[in-house]
Structure 1
Amino acid sequence: MPARIEDVAAHAGVSTKTVSRVLNGHPSVRAVLRTRIEASIRALNYVPNPSARSLAGNRSYLIALLYDNPTSGSSYVMELIVGVLQACKGTPYNAVLHPFEASDDPVAQIDRFVAHHRPDAVILVPPHANNLKLLQRLDELDLRYATISSRSHQSRIDIGFDERKAAADIVRQLIALGHRRIGHVAGLKGHGAHVWRLSGYRDALRKAGIEYDESLVVPGDFSFASGVAGAKALLDRRNAPTAIFAANDDMACGVMREAHARGLAIPGDLSVCGFDDTPVAMLVSPGLTTVHQPCREMGRLAVEGVLASIRDPALQLQTHVPYALQPRASTGAPAKR
């Protein structure tokens, strides 16, 4: 038989009223007690009745994750989604996943979405996390939100990490292997990742005394196809690079595909590295050298932060999570020419 609220109360050693307060995000419950009740909810696999809660508290108990361009950067988005879903488990909240076209009017879109779904909070992924008009509209609607990797200082709750330094670190690794001509397939303009990862690439070159060559930087949009196109542009050059740093793993896999099509050995003829450490990085052969971005953890922290802001609207939280280089077999010393 499914657990009832009375079972949770007995398990946690509290009253049903206290459990109800936790389920409704009431700020008066002490943190230690809230943690104990949430543990009991998970232990008993208690699933509250959302319809009853909504009627009683005038809430939807929905957290919306708004993202754009689902086909490009899909591995990154999927990892964030997993983190969001895991964070909602064991809470009264459910997640709504909604593709949100960046090319359309963001204010009109959010107005329609809120009117239809009535979310209690929103999590924004780039480029929406950088859209000042959208953030301003959310403030006007008094709707709690958290951003992931936002360039804007307007967001009260943001989860990110030092992408510029991470990009510099992985390019420095290529330089340490002996590479001097390093190409870069950049990310989609409008994303903070485009700016931060390109800046990190340039930082590493400058620190090593290598002159920046803008012809070695080609545009991408975080998709596999743009990685293929970027590799073609770079490898068609008379003096082609010996290594290519792509701004995400999907594009790096596109680079590897084009290299294989040309009969180039990786890393014997060309070293390739990416960014994000999504599952695809371990599925390709050779394994892809990349930067581990804790996407699931970022999704989880965004949910926890936005739920905390429901209880405390004045809360401000800027969280930087750690990253790590993940060297694998796709990078090595350049071939002697």
Structure 2
Amino acid sequence: MASGEGGAESGRPATIDDVAALAGVARASVSRALNDQANVSAKMRERVLRAAEALNYRANPQARSLASRASKALALINCPALDAEPNSYYFAALELGALRAAAIAGFELSTLNVDANDPRRGEKVIELFESGRTAGVILPPPLSDDAALAATLVERGYPAVCISPSDAVRALLPGAGFDEQAAGKQIAERVLAKGHSRLGYLLGIEGHFSAEKRFAGFLEALAEAGLDPDAVTVLRGDFSFRSGVELGQAMLDGAERPTALICANDDMAVGALFAAHRRHLVIPDDISIVGFDDAPISGRIWPPLTTVHQPIRRIAASALDQLVEIVLRGQPPRPRFETIGYHLVERESLAPPRD
């Protein structure tokens, strides 16, 4: 006999675990079926209801209350490398934008961290749904670049919205972001318009879709200007201030120092700026330095950074609003991408080269 029937025969009231065992489904699936939540097939719901009837199962009112609260619980899943230096602004801005939107919508939002280097990171996202801890998730990079995870979420009907997803993920799940490639191209065009032709570029983490799109836009602008991409000195960092310092030093100590250095984010640009100051270089006279994000620090250092304003909080709010709509509608998420506007912020760190 199934464990649920054994429990009933022992004289104690049947539990949700007894129902799950008899129906042959996960505990979370029983909860969703009995509370008439989305993402449960008609076949599974029927199987659960029959098991509950056979065991004379009666839901605990307190458990129902908790299930109701869970249906209003959403999660923003940050996925940094936990042994790496954190980005000083990106995740904080995402959290702020999503929290404000959740409060307006009447939902609870938790921020959770999953290690980017954890081989089970995708499974841990799925476990949030299986355990009934969340009704939906927001996935920023690198989780929003994970096509295998996106396919699993779609297959199981779990509500998820992505921040700046890769092309493969964008075809599977809804998301929000801005035109990274156009922004990368625009900032390159502005640097070239100042007369720079000896360029350096600090890339972000390898495989990071958004950063690679920015660099693709940069190369597109160079090609249209008739410049050979091999003429650009390219080094790869990890978006951290420390990597900006180290790679900035390498650029400055090279045989042919660039007259303009473009960085994949503001943290690395500030690090490169620090390296230049340590060598007593004058910015932008000796070298122009450009960032990306428009983090608060970009306007408070000297000289203030020319950068692209990435609307991080608005992107996060858009993702949260889409997620709430999906959860309330009770239907599986469908591919849809909301593009948020960006703009170039020109400050004192960019000027024409002296030579």
Counterpart in 1 of 2:204?
Answer: 187
Q: Equivalent residues in 2 for 1:5-154 (5 A)?
A: 54-55=65-66, 57=68, 59-69=70-80, 71-104=85-118, 105-116=120-131, 118-151=133-166, 152-154=169-171
C-alpha displacement of 1:302: 0.3
Counterpart in 1 of 2:223?
Answer: 206
**Residues 256-289 of structure 1: CA distance to partner in whole angstroms, max 9, x if unpaired?**
0101011111111110111111111112111110
Moved over 6 A (4+): none
SS for the counterpart of 2:148 is helix
* TM-score, scaled to structure 2: 0.76
Q: Equivalent residues in 2 for 1:150-229 (5 A)?
A: 150-151=165-166, 152-213=169-230, 216-229=233-246
C-alpha displacement of 1:115: 4.5
* TM-score, scaled to structure 1: 0.80
Aligned length: 289
Counterpart in 1 of 2:352?
Answer: 333
Counterpart in 2 of 1:13?
Answer: none
C-alpha displacement of 1:60: 4.0
RMSD (CA atoms): 2.3
Counterpart in 1 of 2:336?
Answer: 317
SS for the counterpart of 2:354 is coil
Contact residue 187 and residue 193 of structure 1 kept, 8 A: no
Q: Equivalent residues in 2 for 1:257-296 (5 A)?
A: 257-296=274-313
- Distance in 2 between the 1:117 and 1:235 partners? 53
Contact residue 151 and residue 172 of structure 2 kept, 8 A: no
- Once the two structures are overlaid, the 10-residue window that deviates more, 246-255 or 136-145, is 136-145
Contact residue 198 and residue 259 of structure 2 kept, 8 A: yes
Counterpart in 2 of 1:251?
Answer: 268
| Stretches of structure 2 lacking an aligned partner (at least 5 in a row) | 1-34, 39-61
Contact residue 170 and residue 337 of structure 2 kept, 8 A: no
- Please tell me the residue identity of whatever aligns with 1:187: G
- Once the two structures are overlaid, the 10-residue window that deviates more, 73-82 or 207-216, is 207-216
Contact residue 54 and residue 61 of structure 1 kept, 8 A: no
- Distance in 1 between the 2:243 and 2:134 partners? 35
- Distance in 2 between the 1:285 and 1:118 partners? 46
Counterpart in 1 of 2:250?
Answer: 233
- Distance in 2 between the 1:334 and 1:117 partners? 58
**Residues 75-115 of structure 1: CA distance to partner in whole angstroms, max 9, x if unpaired?**
11111111001101133211111111122123332244344
C-alpha displacement of 1:194: 2.6
SS for the counterpart of 1:65 is strand
Contact residue 154 and residue 172 of structure 2 kept, 8 A: no
- Distance in 1 between the 2:64 and 2:234 partners? 53
- Once the two structures are overlaid, the 10-residue window that deviates more, 308-317 or 275-284, is 308-317
